[in-house]
Amino acid sequence: MRRDGGGEPYWSRPECRVWTAVLLLGTCLLYCARVTVPICAVALSAHFGWDKKQSGVVLSSFFWGYCLTQVIGGHISDQIGGEKVLLLSASAWGFLTFITPLLTQITSAHLVFMTCSRFLMGLLQGVYFPSLASLLSQRVRESERAFTYSTVGTGSQFGTLVIGAAGSLLLDWYGWESVFYFSGLLTLLWVYCTCKYLLTEKDLVIPIDYLMRSISISKQNKVPWKQLFKKAPIWAVIVAQLCTASTFFTLLSWLPTFFKETFPESKVSTGGGRRAGLPALLSESGVVFCAGLATPCCCNDSMTGFSWGF
């Protein structure tokens, strides 16, 4: 399934299927790494002696970093290729997740370290969806674009469910460190297999002129921000995303703590991570169906212009 860089810019049907499966798995692992701290929040608080305020600082620090790299991630992906940005960021956050338990053993400032670690995790994961949108807008045909993107996006729900189930078991059996090792190692393995079997050496090289081009924004490629923000649909999408994300991640971050405090003597408390995945399970059913309805409504530039942070 390797590409030689020539011929039609779009993936063929077999290539599209393979890449869809690979990117679906990548999105799944993205959320596996993202949810490690919420799943282990109760265990981390007990291990390091954090109160709720300190635990909240660690949980929220991810999103401060996450919001900073959305636009720049989409811009760089448009210039050098979304697959390069995606794989570079995945290798970095996978490695960071894997070594987090090891680094906590060599520092006494655990709160500061975990806060900085989650902030850096947010910076690295913030480029994922913009680079994914850029990649699919360049390689997937318009008629298949919305369905492909939504199918790949369901990996976020799958990842939450996987780490909620497997992470809770690992947490009970081997401790919170095993959840980080599990998620980080799988991410690094995914990056290795993707580079080895789907990309050539040429695909992995980033020319210097491409890097220089990504730093500056040409007048021809400038996004008409003023015109965009005058459109009612843009604000509808922003408000919908804000409400959905804030609700979902609030539940995801604090449900394990809620179950632990509400049912301290029950097995429900030890399965808080599994219960935290319930919102993802309920949202899974409508994603692909809605994508099928949206596909005929997509225009040619529907994803290209919005790879810069939407």
Cβ count near 117 (within 10 Å):
21
How many helices (H) and strands (E) in the chain? 18, 0
pTM for the predicted model, two decimal places = 0.81
| Residue carrying the six token digits 């940005």 | 85
Tell me the C-alpha distance between 274 and 254, whole Å: 13
* 94 contacts 82 by C-beta, under 8 angstroms: no
Please provide residue 263's backbone torsions phi and psi, each rounded to the nearest 5 degrees: -125, 65
Q: Give the 3-state secondary structure of 60-84.
A: HHHHHHHCCCHHHHHHHHHHHCHHH
- Contacts (Cβ under 8 Å, ≥6 apart) of 5: 200, 202, 203
Residue 189, both tokens: 């393995």
How confident is the model at residue 212, as a pLDDT?
A: 57
Predicted pLDDT at 94 = 96
* Amino acid residing at 70: Q
- In the block, tokens 């789907």 appear at 198
Instruction: Provide the pLDDT for residue 255.
Output: 82
Contact 125, 73 (CB under 8 A): no
Domains and CATH numbers, the chain: 13-225 (1.20.1250.20)
Contact 70, 198 (CB under 8 A): no
Question: What pLDDT score was predicted for residue 211?
Answer: 56
- In tens digits, what is the pLDDT along the chain, a chain of 310 residues? 444 444 458 888 899 999 999 999 999 999 999 999 988 998 999 999 999 899 999 999 999 999 999 988 888 888 888 899 999 999 999 999 999 999 998 888 899 999 999 999 999 999 999 999 999 999 999 888 888 998 998 888 888 888 888 988 899 899 999 999 999 999 999 999 999 888 877 777 765 555 555 555 555 556 787 888 888 988 998 899 889 888 888 888 888 888 777 877 665 444 444 555 455 555 545 545 554 555 555 544 444 444 444 3
CB of 146 closer than 8 Å to CB of 296:
no
pLDDT at 270: 46
Over its C-alpha atoms, the chain yields an Rg (Å, rounded) of 20
Identify the pLDDT of residue 209.
56
Instruction: For residue 197, give the 3-state DSSP assignment.
Output: helix
Contact 145, 86 (CB under 8 A): no
CB 144 within 8 Å of CB 16: yes
The SS3 of residue 49 is: coil
> For the chain, what is the largest distance between any 2 Cα atoms, rounded to a whole number of angstroms?
63
pLDDT of residue 268: 47
Backbone angles phi, psi at 150, to 5 degrees: -70, -35
